[in-house]
Structure 1
Amino acid sequence: MKLQDLASVRSGLVLSRKQAKEPSEYRYPLINLRCIQQEGTIQLKEADIYEAKEPLKEEYLSQSGDIIVRLTAPYTAVLIDETTSGMVVSSNFVVIRVEDKSLLPEYLFWLLNTEKIKRKIYENATSNMLGAVNARFLADFELALLSVEDQRKIAQFNLLAKRERQLLRMLADEKEKYYAGVLNQAYKRAKKGK
């Protein structure tokens, strides 16, 4: 079954079409390439502010359950949740909005980030310098559907594993700060002792 039979697949907004020429009251957070992390998350502090000349339609804004896929390498897919909904999605990305109950967005998110699927995307990328893939490739993407229950199990395990990796990274960062603090204190004490 093709992805387009189960979901809408379209490119993001061409920013110049709706962009205000001067500061505007219609300000939106913008998902840019810097926001998308290799592990499939959005780094909100990297988001830009997009000033539109008019209120944007819902179709141009991320919604919880959407999957956003980079059109250039590394073709990372991210799953939109409550914290990342309402953001402008630029034409650097494809927005996949699942419309059929037989496909879970969380499962599709996992599937699109597997090595096998990423390899297929690389093989179908254009040969220009950017190596961009087009939305049509993703719309025509063939997938064999598992049962919803099997999709749910895979999706839940994937999200749990992602959360664990995220917590481990945070722990490692905190440990580095702790070690640096202890070493600095030891150095200061030793220096005073001279």
Structure 2
Amino acid sequence: MMRLGDIAQFKTGLVLTRKKAEFEFHIKATYPTITLKNIDSDGFFNDEPFELFHSHEKLDQQYFTEPDDVLFRLNYPNTAVFIGEEHAGLLVPSMFAVIRISDQSVLPEFLAWYLNSEEVKNHLLRFQSGTMMPVTNKRTLEQIVIPELPLGKQKAIVELAKLIWKEKQLYQRLIREREQFMAAMTRQMMRDIQRRKER
């Protein structure tokens, strides 16, 4: 049985308030920062721009994302996201844990997918602390049992998850476009009715 704590190291992000520059003349460095609005509920980055964090000192590299990291949102609802090359170098705040896999038998993308599964989320709910905003601690993460699957099967699962996410994005965009069309048509109808009344 393989547990997450056996195959990965964990770090928490930076408590931003400790390094935030209160005034413009205190700013020593500015960094793009991951926030909750950048990640959708399926564990993928969306198109929201990254917020800029103004620091009163230069920050250590340990607080920034690296390729193949998995970020895990520690408070409810827990969400994991894979960090590819295009999202390396982002500042990680303390609401996330950084998971770095040390075992090559587990793909980081597969781990992110698995941590977003209903099975894991239901498991975490049983061990979360806090009532207003439940939080998952490091010990609970370390105890998560990871399925031992061949790399080929892991890759296939990841590709299927990406395909489903893309299909959902297309479907949601189609719904938005239809809603906009309906709204425009309704406005035009109301204008036509108003013009007829004014004649």
Deviates more, 1:110-119 or 1:141-150: 141-150
Question: Is 1:95 aligned to residue 98 of structure 2?
Answer: yes
Partner of 2:8: 7
Equivalent residue runs for 1:24-35 within 5 Å: 24-35=27-38
Conserved? CA contact 1:125–1:131, under 8 Å: yes
Question: Is 1:161 aligned to residue 164 of structure 2?
Answer: yes
Partner of 1:190: 193
1:136 Cα offset (Å): 2.6
Q: Could you give the per-residue CA deviations for residues 104-154 of structure 1, whole angstroms, max 9, x where no partner exists?
A: 111111100111100111111114432211123213322132000000001
Question: Is 1:61 aligned to residue 89 of structure 2?
Answer: no
DSSP-derived class of the 2:11 partner:
strand
Deviates more, 1:89-98 or 1:133-142: 133-142
DSSP-derived class of the 2:10 partner:
strand
1:160 Cα offset (Å): 1.0
Q: Could you give the per-residue CA deviations for residues 137-180 of structure 1, whole angstroms, max 9, x where no partner exists?
A: 21332213200000000111011111111121122112211211
Partner of 2:20: 19
Cα distance in 2 for partners of 1:25, 1:176 equals 46
Partner of 1:108: 111
Question: Is 1:79 aligned to residue 82 of structure 2?
Answer: yes
TM-score of the superposed pair, with normalisation by structure 1: 0.87
The number of residues matched between the two structures is: 194
Conserved? CA contact 2:73–2:97, under 8 Å: yes
DSSP-derived class of the 1:40 partner:
coil
Cα distance in 1 for partners of 2:77, 2:184 equals 36
Check 1:144–1:41 CA distance in 2 against 1; reply closer, same or farther (3 A cut): closer
Conserved? CA contact 1:11–1:135, under 8 Å: no
Partner of 1:148: 151
Question: Is 1:70 aligned to residue 41 of structure 2?
Answer: no
TM-score of the superposed pair, with normalisation by structure 2: 0.85
DSSP-derived class of the 2:147 partner:
coil
Check 1:96–1:120 CA distance in 2 against 1; reply closer, same or farther (3 A cut): same
1:3 Cα offset (Å): 1.7
Check 1:12–1:178 CA distance in 2 against 1; reply closer, same or farther (3 A cut): same
DSSP-derived class of the 1:119 partner:
helix
Conserved? CA contact 1:3–1:140, under 8 Å: yes
Deviates more, 1:92-101 or 1:34-43: 34-43
Conserved? CA contact 1:9–1:138, under 8 Å: no
Conserved? CA contact 2:37–2:48, under 8 Å: no
Higher alpha-carbon Rg: 2
Identity level (%): 33
1:27 Cα offset (Å): 1.1
Cα distance in 2 for partners of 1:121, 1:38 equals 16
Deviates more, 1:97-106 or 1:43-52: 43-52
Q: Which amino acid aligns with 2:10?
A: V
Cα distance in 2 for partners of 1:183, 1:17 equals 51
Runs (5+) with no aligned partner, structure 1: none
DSSP-derived class of the 1:45 partner:
coil
